[in-house]
A and B are shown apart, each in its own frame.
Chain A
Amino acid sequence: MRKRSGGAWRLISLGTALVLAATHAPAAESKVKTFMAGLNIDHFSRTIVWDGDTASSRLRASLVSARADFGFGKGLTLSLSAGLSLTDFEGLAFGTLPITIEYNASPMKGLVLGAELETLLFKSGNFEIKAAGRFVSSFGMSKTWPLEGFAVQGEAKGRSNWMEASAGPRLAYVLSGAFVPYLEVNARWLRTDFRMEETLEDLHGLETKRINGDLSFSVALGGDARVSDRLTIKAKAGFVPYAGGADILASVGLMYMF
């Protein structure tokens, strides 16, 4: 059975972010044409079946992050972001713990790091076709709950991590310099784990729920609206269809150009 620790994933994520940043560090001095910074709010939901489970449950994540966009010209943009995440795992059951635990608590907090790369592939008239790839990773903070009603003292301790990588084409129409709407189709790969530890006096249990790669596709409409010489609003909304329903994704950001 494949087993990777949360620490390993953190290193991979941090490494990726650092490599990307390092790669473009010289560019930041010599080749960066534009630089924007601002705040981004993201929300997405994913209906998932955890490894070993038969029933689906839903993961909902809300992110608030600071974001920096580095434009290198010729349509190449690198974005780096860092912030906080709230992830809800409503209905997730840990059935192999000595006492089964069903998660119905408030969302789990986490630190989130992200990177996004966008490049221009093709341009014809007002139409542009770009390729965009995004990587976001949330490193959950551990949380402890008392287990009440038992004959002895008990507690449950949980921590969750997730990472999502997405990539796909983006068809943009340069309506004017002030507004650029686009249609985006993405393949989305999600990996997540939730480690729950249960202790009732000297009775201990540990269960880690995992998804080692859930692939789905999303369709989203978005637009970048330049509201002044320096302020730009970036917004996007879409859905992630699955058999029997659809999950949603939404994003809005306010960027300031330096």
Chain B
Amino acid sequence: MKVPAKRSVQAIPALLVLLVFGQGTTDAGWIMQTKRGDRLSQRPARTLRVERPALRRGPRYAADRVLVRFKPAVADAYAEGLLRSYGFSSVRKIPRIGVYSVRTSPGASVAETLAMLRRNADIQQARPDYRTRLADTPNDTFFVRYQYNLRNRGGVLDIGPGIQPQTTAGADIKATTAWDSAKGDPEVIIAILDSGVDMTHPDLTAKVVSPGRDFANDDDDATDDHWHGTHVAGVAAADTNNAEGIAGVARNCKILPVKVAGADGTGFYSWIIEGIIWAADQGADVINLSMGGDFDDPFLEDACKYAFDRGVVVVASAGNDFGGPVLYPAAYDSYVLAVAATDYNDEPADFSSSGPQVDVAAPAVYILGPAPQWYVGEAYLPYVFASGTSQAAPHVSGMAALIKSLKPELKPVDIMKIIRYTADDVNASVDRGRDDHIGYGRINMERALAPYILK
């Protein structure tokens, strides 16, 4: 039997820390779906392999080439002569559809060339030659069908009998377009302070940097003996584009497991305090806390400040008590990003805690994530659907890790502001601006990571 560490922080009253989690059941050949309040559903999973390539946005165009189509009455010889009269160094006809690929004159911009061509009455259309890219939407098995949270194309989220909600296209965190700008630096580490991480899980094994630290049992093995931490770690940074399971938000970033909750899903402030300090000292860039307690505690706040002062972005779930206050440490506004929950329609989730400390929200209803094989049983695929602000927080942690990857010079305070100010105010129709339910809004990774085009 492992003995908890005897440190000064244990003098703190042993305040119960609740993981924001649910329960699951097992049944042969099914993905487990887990939701707060023990509501469950299953569907046959081994038949759900989906690999659908999709083309991503290509915003740029060739700097020295445009495409031109003449009006149907214009003869080819005249058209080519006209184009050459502009001084274009190369005029090439694309057969069948009457389009010319034209190399612009040296020194002339595409915009200038297009403006010039469009003034000619013989020309029907003149357009930039847009750049394409290979479609590299992740090939993870469940990405297209189930991970609406990362890219929501609308339609029915078919989880199982009785649970088939209609989703709204665009009610997502814009992960795929953001990945054009940043997929994450493997040197950037997200510490998952939770029930541990299943380090043998196929979607996580390559992402875990070390066995971590177990403050619940005072040893150096943060293996998950629950399921919650594994799920949270997967949402934040599951192995992506590995033709298996799910995609993680921070595709290439790494995971540092820190176990601060026991097998029953509860823990103590002392474990979290030690976990935060340990993770910060280990060089974590982001700390995810999908957990919290009801009581304000200066020692817990000091631990958050310690990490913050060392350049760590601390992210925590707001809590699953609708109408109730934000949990600690999420409520430490200066040092921690408090994350509330939205659903597949960008509606505030009906379980999300609220308060002035809420910074942003993220999808958190029916989120598919990894779970230990022993937990789901050998006959099941090791993934479960779960709902709760526990699932919202790792989206934000993953986003913070991507921002840190792209702009390592930014301080936590700046990363927190970027996450807040780039959010979509999805409940603006009822509560314009920042509000206590979803803060600044549902996070928008594309706005935070992709360049803003100044026009």
A-side residues, CB < 8 A to B, are 43-45, 58, 60, 88, 90-91, 93, 95-96, 98-105, 145, 147, 149-152, 154, 156, 158, 200-203, 239, 245-248
Give CA–CA (A247, B107) in the complex, Å. 6
Q: A145-B454, A152-B421, A203-B421 are in contact. Are A99 and B448 (CB under 8 A)?
A: yes
Which of B409, B434, B440 touches A96 (beta carbons < 8 Å)? B409
Are B454 and A151 within 8 A (Cβ)? no
Are A151 and B423 within 8 A (Cβ)? yes
Give CA–CA (A60, B108) in the complex, Å. 9
Are B452 and A100 within 8 A (Cβ)? yes
Q: Tell me which residues from 415 to 455 in chain B have a Cβ below 8 Å from any Cβ of chain A.
A: 417-418, 420-425, 433-434, 440-441, 447-455
Please give, as numbers and ranges, the residues of chain A lying within 8 Å of B106 by CB-CB distance: 45, 239, 245-248
B407 touches A (CB below 8 Å): yes
- Please classify the interface of chain A as helix (H, G, I), strand (E, B), loop, or mixed, using the class held by over half of its residues: strand
Are A150 and B454 within 8 A (Cβ)? no
Are B63 and A99 within 8 A (Cβ)? no
Are B454 and A103 within 8 A (Cβ)? yes
Are B63 and A58 within 8 A (Cβ)? yes
Give CA–CA (A88, B449) in the complex, Å. 25
Are B452 and A151 within 8 A (Cβ)? no
Which of A102, A149, A203 touches B454 (beta carbons < 8 Å)? A102
Please give, as numbers and ranges, the residues of chain A lying within 8 Å of B450 by CB-CB distance: 100
Residue tally, chain B, CB below 8 Å to A: 32
Please give, as numbers and ranges, the residues of chain B lying within 8 Å of A60 by CB-CB distance: 107, 109
Please give, as numbers and ranges, the residues of chain A lying within 8 Å of B409 by CB-CB distance: 96
B410 touches A (CB below 8 Å): yes
Q: A60-B109, A151-B423, A247-B106 are in contact. Are A104 and B418 (CB under 8 A)?
A: no
B-side residues, CB < 8 A to A, are 63-64, 106-107, 109, 111, 181, 407, 409-410, 414, 417-418, 420-425, 433-434, 440-441, 447-455
CB distance from A139 to the nearest CB of B (A): 21
Are A101 and B425 within 8 A (Cβ)? no
Are B453 and A104 within 8 A (Cβ)? yes
Q: Which residue of B lies closest to A198 (CB)?
A: B452
Question: Which 6 A-B pairs give the minimum distances between C-beta atoms?
Answer: A248-B107, A102-B451, A203-B417, A100-B451, A45-B107, A151-B440
Please give, as numbers and ranges, the residues of chain A lying within 8 Å of B424 by CB-CB distance: 151
Give CA–CA (A58, B108) in the complex, Å. 10
Which of B107, B181, B422 touches A151 (beta carbons < 8 Å)? B422
Please give, as numbers and ranges, the residues of chain A lying within 8 Å of B448 by CB-CB distance: 99
Are B417 and A200 within 8 A (Cβ)? yes
Give CA–CA (A248, B108) in the complex, Å. 9
Please give, as numbers and ranges, the residues of chain A lying within 8 Å of B454 by CB-CB distance: 101-105, 145, 156, 158
Which of B107, B422, B449, B452 touches A101 (beta carbons < 8 Å)? B452
Please give, as numbers and ranges, the residues of chain B lying within 8 Å of A44 by CB-CB distance: 107
Give CA–CA (A66, B450) in the complex, Å. 43
Which of A91, A158, A239, A246 touches B63 (beta carbons < 8 Å)? A91
CB distance from B103 to the nearest CB of A (A): 11
Q: Which residue of A lies closest to B433 (CB)?
A: A151
Please give, as numbers and ranges, the residues of chain B lying within 8 Å of A102 by CB-CB distance: 451-454
CB distance from A210 to the nearest CB of B (A): 17
CB distance from B320 to the nearest CB of A (A): 24
Q: Which residue of A lies closest to B450 (CB)?
A: A100
Give CA–CA (A248, B107) in the complex, Å. 6
Q: A150-B422, A151-B434 are in contact. Are A202 and B453 (CB under 8 A)?
A: no
Please give, as numbers and ranges, the residues of chain B lying within 8 Å of A93 by CB-CB distance: 451
Please give, as numbers and ranges, the residues of chain B lying within 8 Å of A202 by CB-CB distance: 417
CB distance from A98 to the nearest CB of B (A): 5
Give CA–CA (A22, B454) in the complex, Å. 43
Q: Which residue of B lies closest to A103 (CB)?
A: B454
Max chain B C-beta neighbours (<10 A), residue from A93, A150, A154, A156: A150
Give CA–CA (A103, B450) in the complex, Å. 13
CB distance from A26 to the nearest CB of B (A): 41
Which of A103, A149, A201, A246 touches B447 (beta carbons < 8 Å)? A149
Q: Which residue of B lies closest to A158 (CB)?
A: B454
CB distance from A203 to the nearest CB of B (A): 4
Are B455 and A104 within 8 A (Cβ)? yes
Are A151 and B109 within 8 A (Cβ)? no
Please give, as numbers and ranges, the residues of chain A lying within 8 Å of B109 by CB-CB distance: 58, 60, 88, 90
Give CA–CA (A140, B127) in the complex, Å. 31
Give CA–CA (A203, B181) in the complex, Å. 21
CB distance from A206 to the nearest CB of B (A): 12
Q: Can you identify 27 A-B contacts, CB atoms within 8 angstroms?
A: A58-B109, A88-B109, A93-B451, A95-B407, A95-B451, A96-B407, A96-B409, A99-B422, A99-B452, A100-B452, A101-B454, A104-B454, A104-B455, A105-B455, A147-B452, A150-B421, A150-B447, A151-B423, A151-B425, A200-B417, A201-B421, A203-B417, A239-B106, A245-B64, A247-B106, A248-B106, A248-B107
